[in-house]
């Protein structure tokens, strides 16, 4: 085959290396160990995730058709993904028709540059922002800052994180790792003119943020948002939120710039019916979120008079091209999987190194950003950041089978990394397990492990790579005799025969043949 | 029924008491046992660690050992191995296998059961005539709970055990942190999860923490042993196999 083969699709682009926030600087096990050292963080997370978990269970249980809604959500998302090019073009046509302007960005660098240009054209040096995962993912705030533009986050939790020069650690509750007292200190240090007697009473903290933000809403002429949904049929964009700050940003400024991941498109307006039930119940544990804003292009004399929609790829078509992994694109960013994940609950969002933490992040991040760019790419450790307990799958409102996707990504990782020590060991184990005679010989050899055990019959120290295990767990000494040896022995035969004879002493089960 | 007993590699080699109890229990209930001597391992460790090519021979061997149509059901004292056979073998067969392997896997997976599922759903019994006069708490392992959906079947079996003092485990459905190679690759996080599980187990004052998976019990038991707790772990089969005539000999310390 010649090197130029017409008709062969090019490899879809991944999110570029080093751009945005889709990669941490440490592999998960190291980053997690660092976070585990923070007792305050663990307590905060424990309390917060437990509360949201209970709320979500209560409001999903009260819907008799919750399982059907989940299936409907999954089906609609699958439809959208399988018709993505067509739906995006329809969305573009409808937005344009309604007076908006559509831009396409292949990656974070293109999206950032586009937004910066659009802001520059307005002459403003400030923007107000609606909480948005897409702009977080591409590192828009930092890029704008480099261009002399200040981005003000207006979501309370995002504001806390921004004021603290911190990074969000949760999709829904970015400041979940902070408690009231910490927030009080951050506000005292960072909000100009704040009351020095500010207490840590939530209402007082909220009032302080409100006063600060109100001034921004009234004076900044440009807003930047993400989008929860984009409706191809009508060109309608939607943001759902709890605080009303989004409504302010989406209606007060002269110019609105929305950065939307291309996977957020839905075919029809009527599809919102399903997602506006699934999202708030899964996310905040509310029956309905307090503010749902829908807008279609621009309306003369009402709301922003200039509307730009930036459609962001940044690795999404690469994920879409993966027949198995593409399911992760169905994510509606509700964060239910984070709140039920026992791993997330212990280590928090920063351990994942990405804008997308938790179980969904562990599958989405490696797909968007790839794991190939550097040899020790921290993202390659993310698919292993799970015990595969499956709580995330049960909680997901669009039934993304996260455990199976993690297993698939692990497989892709091992296929790519070649001949590591682990791979050789796995091959060796498989070779033994695949040959019954060798297996029996290995069982005999394992019994030698008895020597390693002390008089108490347990092994308390193991060599690397098992030393991490033995730091907090004893291992029983291999028993003198395997099951199969007992089964084949005279003693085993007699015991089983005796058990069979005594069956009449016990209740004979029904349905016995 | 004619039952193919799958010992699982971990059970056969490290926890023979659990498999022995399974065999004795099934015999006592009047079933005929078959133990294919060339059985080895279901390949779960490989699959869940990301190796799908390597376990192909294991999966082929499993299907061959238990494919015999005279075997009515394949039973194993492990929720995670049953989950692997039922839900993961076909993924590998589809990817790397041939038509024969796919057919073999399909035939075996539909008659594969974890012990409590078999007893309640197939054999149709909840009272197995067991006697176990001790305080017990039950940990529902993740793969039994969410992959196999065994629900409260193990608890229904335990409730019928004579003399048992069954106490609820707080936050029972939280993962213990084992996760196979997760406990090695992410040892620190796994330990943090284990610590919480141990707190909950010891808070019950139970003499025994039981479950349907030796692997999770190895993790929890290893932790209980390290903190010198008075609670020990026993596989569900060991409790169900205990009777008046053959009581389980708990150590004095655990009584």
The verdict on A270 touching B (C-beta cutoff 8 Å) is no
Residue A449: the pLDDT is: 78
Residue A177: the pLDDT is: 84
CB B13 within 8 A of CB A449: no
The residue in chain A having the minimum alpha-carbon distance to the alpha carbon of residue B16 is A483
B251 pLDDT exceeds 60? Answer: no
Residue A508: the pLDDT is: 45
The verdict on A424 touching B (C-beta cutoff 8 Å) is no
Identify the band that residue B252 occupies on the pLDDT scale cut at 50, 70 and 90. very low
Residue A509: the pLDDT is: 46
SS3 category, B152? coil
Instruction: Convert the pLDDT of each residue in B49-88 to its tens digit.
Output: 999 999 999 999 999 999 999 999 999 999 999 999 999 9
Regions of chain A short of the pLDDT cut 50: 1-2, 504-513
Residues 5-34 of A with CB under 8 A from B: 28-29, 32-33
Helical (H) or strand (E) element with B143 = none
Residue A7: the pLDDT is: 62
Instruction: Convert the pLDDT of each residue in A90-135 to its tens digit.
Output: 999 999 999 999 999 999 999 999 999 999 999 999 999 999 999 9
The verdict on B171 touching A (C-beta cutoff 8 Å) is no
Residues 223-252 of B with CB under 8 A from A: 223, 225-226, 243, 245-246
Residue B74 φ/ψ region, left for φ over 0, alpha for ψ in the -120 to 50 degree band, beta for the rest = beta
Q: How many CA atoms are closer than 13 Å to the CA of B100, on its beta-carbon side?
A: 5
Residue A6: the pLDDT is: 62
Residue whose structure tokens are 């029809």: A268
> What is the pLDDT averaged over residues B135-161?
98
> What is the pLDDT averaged over residues B141-147?
97
The residues with which B5 forms a beta bridge, in sequence order, are: B75
Minimum-distance CB partner of B7 among A42, A484, A505: A484
CB B82 within 8 A of CB B117: yes
Token pair belonging to A278: 């699934």
As a three-state string, the secondary structure of B80-99 is HHHHHHHHHHHHHHHHHCCH
The residues with which B131 forms a beta bridge, in sequence order, are: B162
Residue A419: the pLDDT is: 67
d(CA B232, CA A337): 32
Distance from CA of B133 to the nearest CA of A (A): 17
Residue A315: the pLDDT is: 97
Question: Quick check: ipTM above 0.90?
Answer: yes
């Amino acid at each position: 085959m010649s090197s130029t083969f017409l008709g062969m699709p090019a490899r879809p682009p991944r999110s570029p290396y080093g751009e945005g926030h889709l990669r941490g600087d440490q592999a998960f096990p190291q980053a997690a160990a660092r976070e585990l050292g923070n007792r305050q963080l663990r307590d905060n997370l424990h309390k917060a995730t437990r509360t949201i978990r209970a709320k979500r269970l209560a409001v999903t249980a009260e819907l008799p058709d919750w399982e059907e809604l989940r299936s409907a959500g999954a089906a609609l998302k699958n439809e959208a993904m399988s018709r993505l090019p067509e739906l995006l073009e329809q969305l573009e046509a409808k937005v344009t028709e309604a007076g908006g302007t559509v831009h396409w960005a292949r990656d974070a660098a293109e999206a950032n540059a586009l937004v910066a240009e659009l802001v520059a054209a307005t002459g403003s040096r400030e923007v107000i922002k609606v909480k948005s995962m897409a702009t977080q993912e591409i590192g828009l705030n930092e890029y704008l800052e480099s261009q002399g533009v200040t981005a003000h986050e207006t979501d309370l939790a995002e504001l806390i994180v921004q004021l603290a020069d911190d990074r969000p650690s949760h999709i829904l509750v970015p400041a979940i790792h902070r408690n009231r007292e910490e927030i009080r200190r951050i506000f005292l240090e960072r909000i100009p003119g704040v009351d020095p007697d500010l207490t840590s009473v939530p209402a007082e903290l909220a009032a302080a943020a409100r006063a600060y933000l109100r001034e921004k809403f009234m004076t900044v002429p440009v807003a930047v948002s993400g989008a929860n949904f984009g409706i191809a049929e009508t060109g309608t964009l939607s943001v759902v939120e709890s605080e009303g700050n989004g409504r302010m940003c989406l209606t007060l400024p002269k110019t609105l710039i929305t950065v939307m991941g291309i996977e957020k498109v839905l075919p029809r307006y009527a599809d919102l019916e399903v997602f506006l039930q699934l999202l708030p119940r899964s996310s905040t544990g509310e029956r309905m979120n307090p503010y749902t804003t829908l807008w279609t292009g621009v309306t003369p004399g009402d709301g922003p008079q200039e509307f730009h929609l930036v459609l962001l790829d940044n690795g999404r078509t690469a994920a879409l091209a993966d027949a198995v992994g593409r399911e992760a694109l169905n994510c509606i960013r509700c964060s239910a999987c984070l709140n039920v994940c026992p791993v997330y609950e212990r280590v928090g969002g920063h351990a994942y190194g990405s804008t997308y933490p938790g179980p969904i992040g562990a599958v989405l991040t490696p797909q968007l950003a790839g794991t190939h760019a550097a040899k020790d790419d921290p993202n390659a450790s993310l698919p292993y950041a799970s015990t595969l307990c499956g709580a995330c799958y049960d909680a997901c409102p669009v039934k993304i089978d996260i455990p199976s996707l993690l297993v698939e990504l692990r497989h892709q990782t091992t296929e790519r990394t070649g001949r590591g020590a682990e791979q050789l060991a796995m091959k060796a184990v498989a070779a033994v397990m695949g040959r019954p005679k060798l297996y029996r010989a290995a069982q005999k050899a394992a019994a030698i492990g008895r020597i390693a055990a002390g008089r108490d019959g347990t092994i308390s120290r193991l060599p690397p790579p098992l030393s991490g295990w033995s730091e907090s767990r004893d291992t029983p000494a291999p028993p003198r005799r395997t099951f199969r040896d007992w089964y084949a022995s005279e003693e085993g035969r007699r015991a089983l025969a005796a058990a069979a004879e005594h069956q009449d002493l016990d209740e004979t089960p029904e349905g016995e043949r | 029924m004619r039952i193919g007993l799958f010992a699982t590699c971990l059970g056969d080699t490290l926890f023979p008491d659990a498999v022995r109890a399974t065999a004795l229990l099934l015999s006592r209930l009047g079933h005929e046992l078959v133990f294919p001597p060339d059985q080895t391992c279901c390949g779960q460790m490989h699959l869940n660690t990301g190796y799908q090519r390597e376990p192909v021979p294991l999966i082929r061997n499993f299907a061959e050992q238990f494919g015999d149509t005279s075997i009515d059901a394949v039973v194993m004292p492990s929720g995670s191995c049953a989950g692997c056979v039922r839900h993961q073998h076909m993924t590998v067969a589809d990817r790397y296998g041939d038509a024969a392997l796919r057919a073999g896997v399909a035939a075996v997976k539909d008659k594969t059961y974890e012990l409590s599922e078999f007893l309640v759903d197939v054999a149709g019994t909840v009272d197995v005539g067991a006697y176990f006069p001790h305080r017990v708490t039950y940990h529902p392992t993740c793969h039994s709970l969410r992959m196999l959906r065994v629900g409260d079947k193990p608890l229904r079996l335990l409730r019928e055990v004579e003399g048992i003092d069954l106490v609820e485990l707080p936050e029972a459905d939280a993962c213990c942190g084992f996760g196979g190679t997760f406990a090695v690759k992410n040892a620190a996080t796994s330990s943090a999860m284990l610590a919480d599980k141990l707190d909950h187990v010891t808070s019950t004052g139970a003499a025994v923490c039981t479950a349907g998976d030796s692997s999770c019990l190895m993790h929890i038991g290893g932790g209980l042993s390290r903190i010198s707790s008075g609670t020990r772990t026993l596989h569900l089969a060991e409790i169900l196999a205990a009777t008046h005539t053959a009581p389980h000999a708990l150590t004095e310390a655990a009584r």
